[in-house]
Amino acid sequence: MRSKALVVWTLIAALALLMVAGSPTLAKTASKYNFVFLCHGGEENIFWATVYKGFKDALEKYGCTGIMYRPPKEGDLEFQLSTFKAVLAQEPDGIITPIPHPTMFDDVVKQAINKGIPVIVSNTDDPEGAKGNARLSYIGQRLEDAGYNLARSAIKYFPSGPPKPLNVLIGIEGPGLVWAELRSKGITKFLDEYGAKYERLDISMDRSTQHSRFMGYLKKHPEVNMILTVGTGSAGARLAVESLGYKPGRVVIGGFDLIPEILDGIEAGYIHLTVDQQPYLQGYLPVMQLYLMKTYGLSAWDVDTGLAIVDKDDVKTVRELSEKRIR
């Protein structure tokens, strides 16, 4: 009996030692990490609502907590930067952020990394990638490639083939911002190869301003037969050509993202194509990546969320998913 009792107590002691030895890992796995998402997309920006859904779904899936900070005013980079600095003092388990300006966020990201806070970039990367910023990885679209793909695809939407000359107006919603300039660079790269004529126009991010600026330009330049925008400004272009009495198809119009205005324009025949960057993944995947890094010590990795073309053949299916904040 004494021998059996000794064996039992020895086993219990061994199990206890294993539990103690393993407790740090167990506790870390069971704990809820807190992740913060900082962005430049305003509170009413529909695109960022889809990113937010991906972010929230991933937090729930992986048992984490988190918050997304969005500025009251669209594209307010000072708000994003000041909020980033405030978040550093809170020492969250990870930070997710776009880098819409080439240099503005270099110092704060480096400070976070130096404090041991991993930073994942979503949606918009530094134009030099990891060479230009201390961020650990980028989850988003290859912006220059996306612009190139938009322009290359757009010429296929002329029923009788591209006109000669091809006169293109490029609408720039955010001059100087990384995402706008890289997409514009891709567009102009293809147009130069093709031999098209083109001009850039600052159209702002405000839809009514886009409407009036497009109208003003088209009145002076009726030879324009294609309008490409680097953001959702294709919806503003649609308003302008309708106001001028253009019939669908007179001008090929293309841009980015799957907001309702753009899907409406595709169904009406005024907008011919749009590029999908899958914003849900830009919210979901950073959380998943941070969770795996914190829990298992995995390293960060870049993810290309795509540059697929959506047109009238896809719009019905895409709209259903867009309404669910999945696309």
Averaged pLDDT for residues 314-318? 92
How far apart are alpha carbons 132 and 220 in whole angstroms?
41
Q: How far apart are CA 238 and CA 240, in angstroms?
A: 5
High-pLDDT (> 70) share of the chain, %: 91
pLDDT digits (tens, 9 = 90+) for 128-141: 999 999 999 999 99
Strand order through the sheet with 252-256: 197-202, 167-172, 226-229, 252-256, 273-276, 308-310
pLDDT digits (tens, 9 = 90+) for 130-172: 999 999 999 999 999 999 999 999 999 998 899 999 999 999 9
> What pTM, to 2 d.p., does this model score?
0.88
Regarding whether 283 and 259 lie in a shared domain, the answer is no
In this structure, are residues 75 and 44 in contact, taking their beta carbons and an 8 Å threshold?
Answer: no
Per-residue pLDDT at 44? 87
Residue 20 belongs to a domain? no
Instruction: Evaluate if residue 28 carries a pLDDT over 60.
Output: no
Domain holding 95: CATH number?
3.40.50.2300
Is position 298 within any domain?
A: yes
Among 276, 297, 317, which residue terminates a domain? 276
pLDDT tens for 214-237 read: 999 999 999 999 999 999 999 999
**Are 110 and 191 contained in the same domain?**
no
190 and 218 housed in the same domain? yes
Mean pLDDT (whole number) for 64-77: 95
| Claim to verify: residue 190 and residue 97 sit in the same structural domain | no
In this structure, are 269 and 251 located in the same domain? Answer: yes
Q: What is the pLDDT of residue 176?
A: 95
**227 and 285 share a domain?**
no
- Residue 32's pLDDT is 86
CA 108 to chain centroid, in Å, comes to 20
Same domain, 148 and 235: yes
| Domain extent at residue 214 | 144-276
Residue 6 domain flag: no
Q: Is 325 inside a domain boundary? A: no
CA distance 180 to 143: 8
Of 234, 258, 276, the position where a domain reaches its end is 276
Kindly tell me if the per-residue pLDDT of 173 is higher than 60: yes
Report the number of distinct structural domains present in the chain: 2
